[in-house]
Amino acid sequence: MDTEKHIRTIKSYVVRGGRLTQSQQNALDDLWPSLGLERQHGLLNSEEVFSNDNPLVFEIGFGMGDSLAQMAKENPNQNYIGVDVHPPGIGTLLRKIDELRLNNIRVFQDDAKLILQECIADNSLDKVQIFFPDPWHKKRHNKRRLIQAEFVYSLLPKLKENGLIHLATDWENYAEQMMEVLSSIKELENQSDSGSFVNTNIRPVTKFQRRGEKLGHGVWDLIFKKR
């Protein structure tokens, strides 16, 4: 008898439906071979992928890719890896990369936790950024939130010394949880002069930020450095 136990992992995201526009589908068909990365290829060699050894930024959940494409355009001497699961956003980002002629972004369509485990080498990332992750705002769903101590500890080995974690949310309760989690980890140091949250104008405004602000939400950013 097979006695193997299969443990169900709690997902911090859901793959939402969404019809692909023709331009999104065309981008996926035409651009994925040159801009897409596959988990089954194993550990990423960023110097081979980008043909340089520039600093590497890893973004989890880039939405429609507006802010990620803008950051890559404004920082051509940094390389960016984006991870998301939603085909419309991935198609849109690929199209923007092509339109802006960016050569410093590559994309995974996969679970970010698996990509970190299987594709990202230790001491390889200069920065991890997670902007407006799903807040799972109902109390009974809080356990699904991505920013938990266990997840942050899994990020630490992937960061270089002095590497940064930059988080943002428009849910105050989640911001407080993020601050509590990161502040409790002795390997991390808050980069705010006040020991609290940092200025929100240090990154491009995202679609989710604009939506939250229209609903009257505040916005909170945190930056912590690996000691």
Would you list the DSSP string of 161-220?
Answer: EEEEEEEEES-HHHHHHHHHHHHT-TTEEE--TTSS-B-GGGSPPPHHHHHHHHTT---E
> How many angstroms separate the CA atoms of 193 and 62, rounded?
27
Measured distance between the N- and C-terminal CA atoms of the chain, rounded to whole angstroms: 49
DSSP state of 19: P
53 labelled catalytic = no
DSSP state of 123: T
Q: Which of 134, 170, 193, 221 is catalytic?
A: 134
> How many angstroms separate the CA atoms of 147 and 133, rounded?
9
- Residues with Cβ within 8 Å of 180's Cβ and at least 6 positions away in sequence, in order, are none
Active site residues: 134
